[in-house]
């Protein structure tokens, strides 16, 4: 395969996932495409520590874990509200450590956005709703989420829901303000558990579920928390799964350098189904949720490498024909 045949050979990174105008090439038109050139894979370039390579995960787990752990002693009634809403298992299983980014990048290159599936040489796979629930412990299904578009412009509503005047920035409130203002309050000092629970939910949703590149937590989801004991009836899990799908599509197209939402779920899914470089665990007995198995305290070793996936070494797929439905699955 000569370099002259590669239309991206003059680029700094000769793969099309770093090109903002990327559209998936047809295999027939460009047989020397990305997946046949392992040295151009995102995962390989990340491993070489290229200085201009950009890839970020946008979730902020540390602050959520810190607040959750303090809640047991400082805000016990608030914690009961959060557990009643169905988030207790998920929050107890969270951990913070350096993630295996090469696995995530390797999966990104195999993503097909029209089907929300990974196209491996042996067929299609994806993170299913059942997988999501088993990994995270979060329920899918329930009432459709509502959103109050003008919550940031309604100070009386915010005072009613959060019990304080909220400093508005860019149509929301800064996550750091939520944690600093509410995180250390104690119920024994007459802090309202309902207001604390709403503040924690806003912080958790913007830090993990719907995490993006900014530090601003949208306020519109407060409408789903007005009935504090009924907020668990809403379909938070499906919304988080949709963010994962959308973010993977944006990253695979090269229109974003961010993996938003719970991007660490992809890593656990990869370990469970594909197994390459799966960390050795002290206790291999299945836990609920599955993500708790991979807590740093249950690992025997660290992850230092990731085997480069080379589809060129696998048998070529059969030629696409008009009779085969997936032949029309092309990225726009």
Distance CA 34, CA 15 (A): 6
DSSP, residue by residue, 53-81: ---EE---HHHHHHHHHHHHHH-HHHHHH
Mean pLDDT throughout 158-167?
96
Task: Tell me how crowded residue 169 is: count the other CB atoms within 10 A of its CB.
Answer: 14
Distance CA 305, CA 323 (A): 41
DSSP 3-state of 174: strand
Tell me the HSE value of 170 on the side-chain side, using a 13 A CA sphere: 7
Per-residue pLDDT reduced to its tens digit, 38-67: 455 555 554 555 545 455 655 678 899 999
- Which is it for strands 111-112 and 117-120: parallel, antiparallel or unpaired? antiparallel
Residue 319 pLDDT > 50, yes or no?
no
Domain residues of the chain, as ranges?
18-55+98-127+251-315, 61-96+137-241
Question: What pLDDT is stored for residue 253 in this prediction?
Answer: 76
Confidence of residue 304 (pLDDT cuts 50, 70, 90): very low
Question: What pLDDT is stored for residue 313 in this prediction?
Answer: 41
Residue 1 pLDDT > 60, yes or no?
no
Question: What pLDDT is stored for residue 21 in this prediction?
Answer: 35
Question: What pLDDT is stored for residue 148 in this prediction?
Answer: 95
Distance of CA 19 to the CA centre of its chain: 22
Contact 246, 269 (CB under 8 A): no
Question: What pLDDT is stored for residue 192 in this prediction?
Answer: 96
Residue 261 pLDDT > 80, yes or no?
yes
Task: Tell me how crowded residue 177 is: count the other CB atoms within 10 A of its CB.
Answer: 17
Question: What pLDDT is stored for residue 147 in this prediction?
Answer: 95
- Percent pLDDT > 70 in the chain is 70
**Owner of token pair 């090439």:** 25
Mean pLDDT value across the chain = 76
């Amino acid at each position: 395969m000569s370099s002259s045949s590669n239309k991206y050979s003059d680029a700094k990174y000769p793969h099309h996932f770093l090109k903002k105008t990327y559209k998936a090439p047809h295999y027939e038109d460009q047989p020397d495409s990305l997946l046949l050139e392992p040295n151009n894979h995102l995962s390989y370039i990340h491993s070489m520590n290229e200085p201009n390579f950009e890839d970020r995960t946008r979730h902020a787990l540390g602050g959520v874990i810190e607040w959750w752990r303090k809640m047991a002693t400082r805000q016990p009634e608030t914690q009961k509200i959060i557990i009643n809403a169905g988030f207790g298992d998920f929050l107890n299983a969270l951990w913070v450590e350096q993630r295996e980014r090469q696995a995530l990048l390797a999966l990104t290159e195999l993503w097909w956005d029209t089907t929300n599936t990974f196209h491996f040489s042996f067929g299609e796979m994806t993170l299913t709703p059942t997988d999501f629930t088993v990994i995270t412990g979060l329920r899918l299904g329930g009432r459709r989420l509502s959103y109050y578009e003008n919550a940031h412009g309604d100070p009386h509503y915010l005072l009613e829901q959060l019990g304080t005047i909220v400093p508005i920035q860019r149509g929301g409130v800064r996550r750091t303000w939520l944690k600093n203002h509410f995180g250390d309050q104690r119920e024994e000092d007459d802090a309202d558990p309902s207001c604390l629970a709403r503040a924690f939910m806003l912080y958790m949703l913007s830090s993990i579920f719907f995490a993006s590149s900014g530090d601003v937590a949208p306020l519109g989801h407060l409408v789903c928390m007005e009935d504090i004991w009924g907020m668990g009836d809403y379909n938070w899990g499906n919304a988080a799964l949709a963010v994962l799908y959308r973010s993977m599509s944006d990253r695979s197209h090269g229109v974003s350098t961010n993996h938003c939402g719970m991007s660490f779920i992809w890593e656990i899914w990869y370990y469970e189904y594909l197994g390459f470089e799966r960390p050795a665990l002290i206790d291999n007995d299945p836990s609920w949720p599955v993500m708790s198995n991979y807590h740093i305290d249950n690992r025997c070793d660290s992850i230092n490498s990731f085997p480069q996936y080379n589809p060129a070494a696998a048998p070529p797929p059969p030629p696409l024909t008009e009779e085969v439905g997936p032949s029309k699955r092309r990225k726009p």
